[in-house]
């Protein structure tokens, strides 16, 4: 019983640690087409944190989500193991990753927990596995 609550508390602690960074990141989001800025923070197993924002393009389908920017920055820096992803948009309370981001996150950390936040800094937590039940695998 202690184990379950201590896991929950630690995810909340990691999410809290990233609030400032993720909120600050919103100013770097490039979202002139949707007007929906999104910011993400990815907490690595060794404690390092990578941030990402959405980056849109006039050729709409080339736009990139905040989650994948954070993930690709982390992987390109040598990270492979992730504990928690925190997501935030001032326009959408408790925003969740799209299917493409869920699939790319699964590649590295199927045990990842997704934290999402509203403007009052309240959290919801979802294990990645519950958001994508049958990821594509070779
Ligand atoms: N977007 C993200 O960055 N992450 C999500 O979780 C969902 C959507 C971006 C893509 C696009 O720039 C804008 O939000 C509106 O869809």
Q: What is the pLDDT of residue 135?
A: 97
Atom of ligand 1 nearest to the CA of 55: 12
Residue 57: which region, alpha, beta or left (left: phi > 0; alpha: psi -120 to 50)?
Answer: beta
Give yes or no: 67 in active site.
Answer: yes
Note the pTM of the prediction, 2 decimals: 0.94
Residue 40 CB–ligand 1 contact under 6 Å: no
Residue 31 CB–ligand 1 contact under 6 Å: yes
Q: Which top CATH class is 2-131?
A: alpha beta
Q: What is the average pLDDT value for the chain, to the nearest integer?
A: 94
Separation CA 41–CA 132 (nearest Å): 20
Residue 95 CB–ligand 1 contact under 6 Å: yes
pLDDT-derived band at 8 (thresholds 50, 70, 90) equals low
The model's pLDDT over 52-74, given as tens digits with 9 standing for 90+, comes to 999 999 999 999 999 999 999 99
């Amino acid at each position: 019983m202690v184990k379950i609550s201590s896991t929950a508390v630690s995810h909340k602690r990691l999410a809290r640690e990233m609030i400032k960074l993720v909120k600050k990141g919103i100013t770097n989001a490039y979202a002139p087409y949707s007007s929906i800025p999104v910011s993400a923070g990815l907490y690595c197993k060794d404690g390092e944190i990578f941030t990402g924002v959405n980056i849109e393009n006039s050729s709409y389908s080339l736009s990139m989500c905040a989650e994948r920017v954070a993930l690709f920055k982390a992987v390109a820096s040598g990270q492979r193991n992730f504990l928690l992803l925190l997501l935030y948009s001032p326009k959408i309370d408790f925003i969740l990753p799209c299917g493409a981001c869920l699939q790319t996150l699964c590649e590295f950390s199927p045990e990842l927990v997704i934290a999402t936040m509203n403007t009052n800094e309240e959290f919801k937590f979802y294990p990645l596995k519950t958001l994508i039940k049958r990821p594509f695998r070779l």
